[in-house]
């Protein structure tokens, strides 16, 4: 992962790495203005240069900001510094889905419940986006 402890992105100070995936890296950080722990997802500079990835990252920020649900983190801020685009989100402690799945599959009832919630939110977002584009 690219950022080290002590690195500053705007008013946020990186504390430690949390994880990485195909669309970026996630870090635990400290919001020095509000004195709270946050999660920062970055789109590294080499991905920011790709217009498709950058557009997808921006779309992710808009999608997150349009959602309001107790099981979805809150988006606090977006930023860009020295070729790095980043999202600042609520830092939610807990088990990752990958870790949970190590214990075995989720019960069908739970999968259907989560799937329905995701579908409802996605439909609202798609409808809202379509309405603003037409």
Domain containing residue 13: CATH number? 3.30.200.20
Is there a single domain that holds both residue 55 and residue 29?
A: yes
Is there a single domain that holds both residue 84 and residue 108?
A: no
Render pLDDT for 53-105 as a digit per residue (tens, 0 to 9). 888 888 888 988 888 777 778 999 999 998 889 999 999 887 777 788 899 99
Is there a single domain that holds both residue 45 and residue 106?
A: no
| 57 C-beta neighbours (distance < 10 Å), count | 21
Is there a single domain that holds both residue 54 and residue 117?
A: no
pTM of the model: 0.72
Query: Which of residues 102 and 128 earns the better pLDDT score?
Result: 102
* Closest among 5, 2, 125, 25 to 69, alpha carbons compared: 125
Render pLDDT for 107-121 as a digit per residue (tens, 0 to 9). 999 888 878 877 776
Is there a single domain that holds both residue 81 and residue 107?
A: no
d(CA 17, CA 97): 17
For the chain, how many structural domains are there in total?
Answer: 2
Is there a single domain that holds both residue 86 and residue 107?
A: no
Is there a single domain that holds both residue 128 and residue 75?
A: no
Residue 121 confidence (pLDDT): 63
Is there a single domain that holds both residue 7 and residue 45?
A: yes
Is there a single domain that holds both residue 81 and residue 123?
A: no
Is there a single domain that holds both residue 83 and residue 104?
A: no
* Closest among 88, 83, 87 to 46, alpha carbons compared: 83
**CB 56, CB 21: distance < 8 Å:** no
Structural domain including 50 reads: 1-93
Is there a single domain that holds both residue 27 and residue 72?
A: yes
Is there a single domain that holds both residue 111 and residue 84?
A: no
């Amino acid at each position: 992962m690219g950022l080290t402890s002590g690195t500053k992105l705007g008013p946020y100070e990186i504390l430690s790495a949390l994880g990485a995936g195909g669309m970026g890296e996630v870090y635990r950080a400290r919001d020095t203005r509000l004195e709270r722990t946050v999660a920062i997802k970055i789109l590294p500079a080499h991905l920011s240069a790709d217009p498709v990835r950058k557009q997808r990252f921006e779309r992710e920020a808009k999608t997150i900001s349009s959602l309001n649900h107790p099981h979805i983190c809150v988006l606090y801020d977006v930023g860009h510094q020295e070729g790095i685009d980043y999202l600042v989100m609520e830092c939610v402690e807990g088990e990752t889905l990958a870790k949970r799945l190590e214990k075995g599959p989720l019960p069908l009832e739970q999968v259907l419940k989560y799937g329905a919630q995701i579908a409802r939110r996605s439909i609202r977002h798609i409808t809202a986006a379509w309405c603003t584009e037409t």
